Structure 1
Amino acid sequence: MRRAQSNVVSVALLLGTVMLSLAGLTASVGLVVDSNTATADATRVSTDMERALSPVESTGVHRGRISFSEGTLETAERELRILDESGVVRTVRVDSLCFKSGSRRVTYVAGGIVRGTNGSARMYSQPPITTSRDGGVLVVGAAKLNASERVVTSKTGTSAHVWTNVTHARTTLGNGTYRVAIETEATGAWRRHFERQNATTTIRDFDGDGIPSVVAKYPGRRFAYLVVHDMRMEVR
């Protein structure tokens, strides 16, 4: 009788261990599926943003679509500044369009797309800011969303339709030494981008709103232009 009871207890313990293992495996599979879905969304959104928001190549009305299975798509106030020896000479409210799903983010600001998690991010698509390495000419393209605040949320899959009506305006800033400041939460990705352009970078909060700006200082004197690409974006 004791041996039979012992066998029953052993079988019960074994079944309990198996059930715990299966529960752990199910949870792990669930996490992997969620992670893969979020990664696929980030990849798709990055590509869609690049296609839908291409103001340098576009003039007039353009329509695009940004698709994702779960997350939020929202605008936020952001500014681009150009500084010379005396301080800020131009401020453009460029704003941002940000996709969030868990810890993953894809953010469009000033014509650049940054993709990554809360802990790290990288430049997916470069902004239209061009310069020679040591001097000469600096062209600052400011992609301006010019959109009313809008939030699109989905937990079952959606497509946000994006309309833009693009115009361009160029301003000559003249010869001098210049810095360009981009307001962004993804400071690491923007610093690395500017440093690859031979600029030195610092961090500064110009307006005290808690959102820092990456300030890129270009070496040498150069003739600068500001080109504002006004998109007048609508998201539906």
Structure 2
Amino acid sequence: MRRGQSNVVGVALLLGTVMLSLAGLTASVGFVVDSNTATADATRVSTDMNRALSPVESTGVHRGRILFSDGQLETAERELRILDDSGIVRTVQVDALRFTSGSRRVTYVAGGIVRGTNDSARMYSQPPITASRDGGVLVVGAAKLNASERAVSSKTGTSTLVRTNVTHARTTLGNGTYRVAVETEATGAWRRYFERQNATTTTRDFDGDGIPSVVAEYSGQRFAYLVVHDMRTEVR
């Protein structure tokens, strides 16, 4: 009789172990599926943003779509500043279009697209800021989103229409020693971008809102231009 009870207990323990293993496997599979979906969304949004928001190449009305299955698309206040030896020369309210899905993030700001946050972020599409390596010329292209506040969320998939009406305005800043500051949460990607241009970088919170700016200091005297690409963006 004891042997029969032992068999029953052994089977029950075995079934319990199997059920726990299946539950753990199900949870693991669910996590992998969610992670893969978020990664696929971030990749797709990066590509769609690059196509929909192309202010340097566009003039007039341009339309594009941003597709994602799970996440939120929203605008955020961001500024680009140009400084010389005397202080801030120009401030442009460029703002940002930001997609978030779980821990994944894609942000369009100042004409650049960044995936991720902080030091783990990487530049997906470069901004229109160019400089000769050893003095000469600095051209700061400031892609200005100019959008009314709008947030789009989805748990079942959405296709968001992004409409821009682009104009361009160039200002000559003249000869001097310049720094360019971009307000961003993805400091690592912007720092590496500027350093590849042979600039020295620091971070600074100009307006005390908790969002730092990456400040790039270009060596030598340069003749600088500011080109504002005003997109007047509508997110529908």
Match of 2:26 in 1: 26
What's the counterpart of residue 56 of structure 2? Answer: 56
1:65–1:159 contact (8 Å) kept in structure 2 = yes
Amino acid at match of 1:19: M
Distance in 1, Cα, partners of 2:233 & 2:99: 16
Tell me how far apart the structure 1 counterparts of residues 160 and 59 of structure 2 sit (CA, whole Å). 21
CA distance in 1, matches of 2:64, 2:216: 32
Q: Distance in 1 between matches of 2:198 and 2:40?
A: 33
Which residue is equivalent to 2:35? Answer: 35
Shift of 1:120: 1.4
Question: Is 2:75–2:96's contact at 8 Å kept on the other side of the alignment?
Answer: yes
Identity of aligned residues (%): 89
Question: Which residue in the other structure is 2:204 paired with?
Answer: 204
Q: Distance in 2 between matches of 1:70 and 1:119?
A: 25
The residue that corresponds to 1:152 in the other structure is: 152
One-letter amino acid of the counterpart of residue 123, structure 1? M
Alignment match, 1:8: 8
The corresponding residue for 2:190 is: 190
Aligned partners of 2:127 and 2:219: how far apart in 1? 19
Alignment check: 8 A CA contact 1:133 1:197 kept? yes
SS at structure 2 position matched to 1:138: strand
> TM-score when scaled to structure 1?
0.99
> How far off is 1:118 after superposition?
6.4
1:189-226 per-residue CA deviation (whole Å, 9 max, x = no partner) reads 11011011100001111111111100000011110000
Distance 1:179 1:117, change over 3 A: closer
Cα distance in 2 for partners of 1:59, 1:53 equals 11
**Partner Cα separation in structure 1 for residue 210 and residue 150 of structure 2:** 21
Q: Tell me, what secondary structure is at the counterpart of 2:206? A: coil
Q: Give how far 1:117 is off.
A: 5.4
Compared CA separation, residues 117 and 102, structure 1 to 2 (3 A): farther
Aligned residues: 236
Amino acid at match of 2:224: A
Compared with structure 1, are the counterparts of its residues 171 and 118 closer, same or farther at alpha carbon in structure 2 (3 Å cutoff)?
closer
Name the structure 1 match of 2:143. 143
Alignment correspondent of 1:91? 91
1:133 is matched by which residue type in structure 2?
R
Q: Secondary structure at the match of 1:94?
A: coil
How far, CA to CA, are the matches of 1:75 and 1:120 in structure 2?
Answer: 22
Deviations 1:45-104 (A, max 9, x none): 000000000000000000000000000000011000000010000000000000000011
Q: TM-score, normalised by structure 2?
A: 0.99
The two structures, once aligned, show a CA RMSD in angstroms of 0.8
Matched, 1:66 2:66: yes
Against the structure 1 CA distance between its residues 128 and 46, is the aligned structure 2 distance closer, same or farther, given a 3 Å change threshold? same
Listed one character per residue, the Cα deviations across residues 123-157 of structure 1 (whole Å, up to 9, x for unaligned) are 00000001111111000000000001000000000
The whole-number CA distance in structure 1 between the counterparts of 2:207 and 2:121 is 24
Q: Which runs of 5+ in 1 are unaligned?
A: none
2:114 — aligned with what? 114
Looking at structure 1, the residues matched to 9 and 70 of structure 2 have their Cα atoms a distance apart, in angstroms, of: 46
Q: What CA distance in whole angstroms lies between the structure 2 residues aligned with 1:179 and 1:119? A: 21
Give the C-alpha shift of residue 116 in structure 1: 2.0
Distance 2:117 2:27 in 1: 22
Report deviation, 1:119.
6.4
Aligned residue type for 1:152: V
Aligned residue number for residue 228 of structure 2: 228
- Gap runs ≥5 in structure 2: none
Residue 43 of structure 1: how far off its partner (Å): 0.1
